[in-house]
Chain A
């Protein structure tokens, strides 16, 4: 199987629980719920062996974590929207593929950890998505955390490690990121029927992202991630990463048929359900200027002692200033 068709379809899904728990509270929530239903049907028809999820609602700090427990069973309550109800779940995971992703990530220089504990707190976004798009556990899933401190290089390499594992096990996948577009929630309690995007600025950036998605310009959007982080995201983590992973596993190009199945406010956030299917047609590549690293070689020690100051500038090293001291 070629790398091109390891991932047969890709999706962007929002993770807040309203479409699952209270779809009737707002017409927009109901439209999101309908869009999740369409995604469910698309996945069923895709012939995929596994659902791969990168969730921005599962932050990790000791590298990337990968869910490897075969069956996750719990009753989940969201820490913010606990009054909307409890979510009992049983989720089937592909533990073997999860472990292969860990192994391949380590080979590529990443710090990776498998997670296999009863009662591990699965994030709201992964639970909501899997309940809606895979209600009968027809297809096993693998969930990957979003490393708070990772930047583009680590996240791209994580995508490549994911593809390595798929290749090794000869599996076809659908790739999903759990993320809102703009992520600003309202700070006060709002009647769901009055829900709206938090600000006009967020709305404008969401519409720009939607325009790119509709044209299938996934890699262009991926390369705009830093700008999106500045303009439309609360700075909870160091960057907006999910599209780096998605474009790597799906293919870092703009040859997609993009469809925005729904775009609605959920407690102020820009919540969109987006489908991306590989096609032969390419939108113009307008934004490509970032590299595609194969391995993660560690943090560049930009804050380290400037030992090379007296020897002239030499920035073409991963540890500027330390290369002559045997300290790298």
Chain B
């Protein structure tokens, strides 16, 4: 049977959302906060609960690599992830399984095309918090294996246009590996939209009286993308990505959203926007493309 993508989602990773949920894995405890986004994740989880799928593939901005793209390829990781920016909010005990066969298939496809890729097999490696937050919020039971892909820093290193070309190539590799695997796959792009954020936070981080977008131009850019998501114009989103990334200081510089849209082969079906909200001034949307 040919493998396929059953759902793709923009699944941003602010650690604040895990902090606000108070799961047993996270040491700090909160009084709540960022409900709109958390309710959006409720809806995404409800969609996933109805789906039959085998594995989640996630591309995270916080596993930033410069020498090629890297992919987790050790069967089991267990440890403590402490957010380097928000250690007071996120100290999370993770225990996750990796679909090594699919990771190796991805690497095999990459080698065929000369795309620089390396498998990460060191069992002591600490999983980045972007991967953990997006996967936890999409599937807090952690009952599905994941494949985690690093973000190759071609946008910072060269330009967002180079990033786009790379993501097209990575998407082709990802699709080929999924199809040959015979598996039903969920894709997650673990990034915010606009990403300029405040450099100070209130004494109580979850005090929502302080939470708003950093500036109006970011909001307008975020709304432009959301309007296109809802209209099923994912190809146009992809074409706007370099401008969006530079002008909205988007976390799309990671390539995650470009990779997601290209791997889904630019769906024309309207996306379901589950939520939009800000976290420390950044714009975050939880968006689902159901492909079943």
Contact = CB atoms under 8 A, between A and B. Distances in A.
A77 B126 contact: yes
B258 to A, nearest CB: 18
A77 B121 contact: no
A267 interface: yes
Contact of B116 (A61, A149, A188, A267): A188
Contacts of A60: 84-85
Given A117-B87, A119-B91, A185-B67, A83 B82 contact: no
A86 B124 contact: yes
Interface string A139-161: 00000000001000000000000
B66 A80 contact: yes
Contact of A77 (B81, B88, B124): B124
A120 B128 contact: no
B67 A86 contact: no
A111 B200 contact: yes
Nearest to A150: B199
B157 A187 contact: yes
B67 A187 contact: yes
B77 to A, nearest CB: 11
Contacts of A85: 122
B39 interface: no
B125 A77 contact: yes
A77 B128 CA distance: 12
B156 interface: yes
Contacts, number: 86
Chain B contact residues, majority secondary structure: loop
Q: How large is the interface on A (under 10, 10 to 19, 20 to 34, 35 or more residues)?
A: 20 to 34
A86 B122 contact: yes
B122 to A, nearest CB: 4
B82 A79 contact: no
Contacts of A86: 122, 124
B201 interface: yes
A121 interface: yes
B118 A189 contact: yes
A117 B91 contact: yes
Contacts of A187: 66-68, 116, 154, 157
Contacts of B128: 79
A62 B200 contact: yes
Contacts of A79: 63-65, 70, 125, 128, 150
A275 B65 CA distance: 30
Given A63-B200, A187-B116, A115 B87 contact: yes
Contacts of A185: 66-67
Interface of B: 63-68, 70, 80-82, 84-88, 91, 116, 118, 120-122, 124-126, 128, 150, 153-154, 156-157, 197, 199-201
Interchain residue pairs A-B with the least CB separation, the first 3: A86-B124, A82-B122, A119-B80
Given A62-B201, A80-B65, A80-B66, 9 more contacts: A62-B86, A63-B199, A83-B122, A111-B199, A115-B87, A117-B91, A119-B91, A184-B157, A189-B116
